[in-house]
Amino acid sequence: MSIKIKWLGHSCFAVECEGYKIVLDPFEPGSVPGLLPVEEEADLVLCSHEHFDHNYRAGVVVSEQPRENPFRVTALSSYHDDQQGALRGKNTIFLLEAENMKIAHFGDIGCMPEEPVLQKLRGADAVMIPVGGHYTVDAPGAKAILDEVRPRVVIPMHYRSEAFGFDVLSTLEDFLKLCGPGVRFGGTSLELTPETPRQVAVLSCPVEEK
């Protein structure tokens, strides 16, 4: 019983269970400094909103052979900013449930989700949440959401490092100061099981060679 979660950079992830793969929030080639283009094969593509660094469906070859989807997919409405979408519009949080586990991809969440949404997210086994600020919640905003949701595994995304990311974003360190040192993975993925311990999982992602 496991779900593989692979970080492709920025907010893009490939989530796989029983051979069925979902790619979330693929970004346009060259749109995020330092990151390699998204070139994936999958069964389903989900986009949290229609901005160029989250909706490049052309980067994913969707299988023409239909397979049974082991995930129950729930789309939860939220906002890309803290003004009810007035600045950047709506955002979708995707809740994926399989193998008696549930994981959530927060997209470009810009504020605390409303209580009915929080109720569905609470106790998640893993969440992928932006922490870089400017376009999304910042580190304190992400921590406030996590304090409400209380997930077992937190995977930070949508931040800047020396190798990748938008200059206006904060670095991961601002988030880790609030939420602990994190477990740094040498690779791009983790296998989520019911036994995976509570942690902040810092994944690597594919970057351009300099």
Distances (CA, A) of 84 to 81, 87, 88, 112: 7, 8, 9, 11
Average pLDDT over residues 42-60: 94
What's the pLDDT tens digit per position in 14-34?
A: 999 999 999 999 999 999 999
Q: How large a percentage of the chain has pLDDT more than 90?
A: 86
Give residue 25's pLDDT: 97
Helices in the chain by DSSP H: which ranges? 115-121, 139-149, 172-179
Say if CB 123 and CB 170 are below 8 A apart.
no
pLDDT at 188 over 70: yes
123 CB neighbour count, 10 Å cutoff = 11
Residue 56 confidence class, pLDDT cut points 50, 70, 90: very high
Strands 199-202 and 183-184: parallel
Give residue 87's pLDDT: 77
What's the pLDDT tens digit per position in 95-105?
A: 999 999 999 99
Q: What is the CATH number of domain 3-202?
A: 3.60.15.10
d(C-alpha 121, C-alpha 113), whole Å: 10
Q: Give φ, ψ of 119 to 5 degrees.
A: -60, -35
d(C-alpha 118, C-alpha 76), whole Å: 10
From 173, 162, 141, 169, select the one nearest 53 (Cα to Cα): 169
What's the pLDDT tens digit per position in 60-80?
A: 999 988 889 999 999 999 978
Residue 210 confidence class, pLDDT cut points 50, 70, 90: low
What's the pLDDT tens digit per position in 103-149?
A: 999 999 999 999 999 999 999 999 999 999 999 999 999 999 999 99
What's the pLDDT tens digit per position in 166-182?
A: 999 999 999 999 998 88
Residue 39 confidence class, pLDDT cut points 50, 70, 90: very high
What is the token pair recorded at 182? 């994190």
